[in-house]
C-alpha cells in the first residue's frame, strides 16, 4: 500500500475510534455542565474557571473568540460530540487532554461556558460606530 493511502487509512481509523470512544461513554449526549456561578466569591463560572485553569484561554482567548494559535470556539461552539472528541483525541498542534488531565465534569463545564457566551453586537447597533 502506498504511504499516502496508509496515512489516510490510519487517519480514518483514528478519527473513527475517537468518535467511538466518545460515543461509548458519558460524553455522548450534550452534557449538563455548569456555566453559572457555583457559589464562587468572585462572580466567575465553573466553566470559565476551568477554561482559564487548564490554559485554554492562551490560544482561544478569554471568551473563546480565537487567537493566533487557536480557532474561535464561541459563541455557538461545535456540537458536543465533536468538541469532546477533539479535546480528548487531538493530533494537531493542540495536545490531547485525557481524563487524567481534564475531568469530564470540567470539560462539560467549559462547554456550557462556551455555549453561554452571547453573540457580539452587530456594529450597526452600537451608536458610537454609526456617527
Residue recorded with cell 500500500: 1
Q: Which positions ≥6 away from 6 have C-beta within 8 Å? A: none
Phi, psi of 14 (to 5 degrees): -65, -45
pLDDT of residue 69: 94
pLDDT given for residue 55 in this prediction: 96
Helix (H, G, I), strand (E, B) or coil at 45: strand
95 against 6, higher pLDDT? 95
Count of H-run helices and E-run strands, the chain: 5, 0
Residue 3 pLDDT grade (very low, low, confident, very high; cuts 50, 70, 90): low
The pLDDT, as a whole number, for residue 122 is: 87
Asked if residue 60 has pLDDT above 60, the reply is yes
Q: How many CB atoms lie within 10 A of CB 44?
A: 13
Q: Residue 45 forms beta bridges with which residues?
A: 37
Fold of 3-118: Cytochrome Bc1 Complex; Chain D, domain 2 (1.10.760)
Question: Whole-prediction pTM value?
Answer: 0.66
Residue pLDDT, tens place only, 67-125: 999 999 999 999 999 999 999 999 989 999 999 999 999 999 999 999 999 998 888 88
* Residue ranges per structural domain of the chain: 3-118
Instruction: List pLDDT tens digits, range 28-58.
Output: 566 666 555 444 434 458 999 999 999 999 9
Amino acid at each position: 500500500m502506498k504511504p499516502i493511502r496508509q496515512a489516510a487509512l490510519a487517519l480514518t481509523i483514528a478519527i473513527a475510534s475517537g468518535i467511538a470512544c466518545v460515543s461509548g461513554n458519558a460524553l455522548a449526549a450534550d452534557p449538563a455542565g455548569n456555566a453559572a456561578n457555583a457559589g464562587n466569591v468572585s462572580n466567575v463560572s465553573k466553566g470559565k474557571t476551568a477554561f482559564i485553569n487548564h490554559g485554554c484561554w492562551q490560544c482561544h482567548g478569554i471568551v473563546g473568540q480565537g487567537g493566533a494559535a487557536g480557532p474561535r470556539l464561541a459563541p455557538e461552539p461545535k456540537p458536543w460530540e465533536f468538541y469532546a472528541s477533539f479535546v480528548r483525541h487531538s493530533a494537531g498542534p493542540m495536545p490531547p487532554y485525557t481524563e487524567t488531565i481534564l475531568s469530564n465534569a470540567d470539560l462539560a463545564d467549559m462547554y456550557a461556558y462556551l455555549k453561554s457566551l452571547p453573540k457580539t453586537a452587530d456594529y450597526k447597533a452600537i451608536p458610537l460606530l454609526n456617527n
